[in-house]
Amino acid sequence: MFVESDSFIKTSKSLKDVQPELDKLRQKAVSKVFYFIIQKLQALRKPKTNIQILQQSVLLKYKYVISFLKEHGKEVYTEVRTAYIDTMNKVLSACFRAYIQALEKLQFDIATSSDLIGVETGSIGLFSRVREPLKNRSAVFALGDRINILKDIEQPTLIPHIAEASSQKYPYEVIFGSLHRLLLDTATSEYLFCDNFFGEEAMFNEIFAGPLTVIDEHFNSILPNSYDAMGDEFPVWTHILTRQALKVRKFKFILRNC
């Protein structure tokens, strides 16, 4: 405010008379701005909302509101910041959980325990999934066409309902690659928005704590039960190639978190 920037006005006697009214006006403006921006953030929770479009076409138009709160209502700004982090944490966690569940339905196993060299084939439990073992067990370690997944790590993500409708199934490296690309694209978009709208990079960690936990839970349930040696290697190489892609995009902050 011009009152705070002008030392002559700050020391004037007339200011003391109007200061209480100025404070009331500031509080009223901050309160209206708070409810306005919270209402905009609530739209992020609506089902089937395109979050990125809402961020770019609606929220970014009001980033001056965030600047106003930072300067004239720091406590209220903290509430808005917390509300956004909580909202995006929950929304993105739910989105990734739903996407992972859909992807898992599209997976087929290249190998099972009965295909591994040195594992007895007669140890199949009563309720175990029965599958004809591979005739050539050394094929479990063959790359074949599977190496193609590493030649283009930025292919479009799988759309589960389309793949399911055509009865398509994929090995785990394709499932992982699609999940990994979605995470990369979502993280990049969210990072840029937080930096542009809030002027804060640190929010990224708080927002993605939930989604990363969901993805970790998926890995912890899938990888210990995987008998596909080559399939288990692909996520490692995909991760390495993704870090190189991030360097090209110059997102050093995201690199520190992956």
What is the domain extent for residue 64?
Answer: 2-255
Sign of the C-alpha dihedral computed for residues 230, 236, 239 and 244 taken in this order: negative
Range from 10-19, 56-65, 87-96, 201-210 carrying the lowest mean pLDDT = 10-19
Say what the pTM is.
Answer: 0.76
Distance separating alpha carbons of residues 78 and 22, to the nearest angstrom: 22
**Segment 23-78, tens digit of pLDDT:** 777 788 888 999 999 999 999 999 889 999 999 999 999 999 999 999 888 999 99
Helix (H) or strand (E) holding 39: helix 13-42
- Joined together, the tokens standing for residue 190 give 């969210």
pLDDT of residue 223: 78
| CA angle 143–146–150, rounded 5-degree value | 110
Who contacts 119 (Cβ-Cβ below 8 Å, separation ≥6)? 113
| CA angle 204–176–92, rounded 5-degree value | 35
Domain count for the chain, please give it.
1
Between 111 and 169, whose confidence is greater?
169
| Nearest one of 241, 182, 235, 232 to 212, comparing CA atoms | 182
Query: Given a cut of 70, is residue 253 above it in pLDDT?
Result: no
How does 232-251 read in b/e, with b if 16+ C-beta sit within 10 Å?
eebbeebeebbeeebeeeeb
How many angstroms separate the Cα of 16 from the Cα of each of 19, 23, 28?
A: 5, 11, 19
- Joined together, the tokens standing for residue 35 give 């409810």
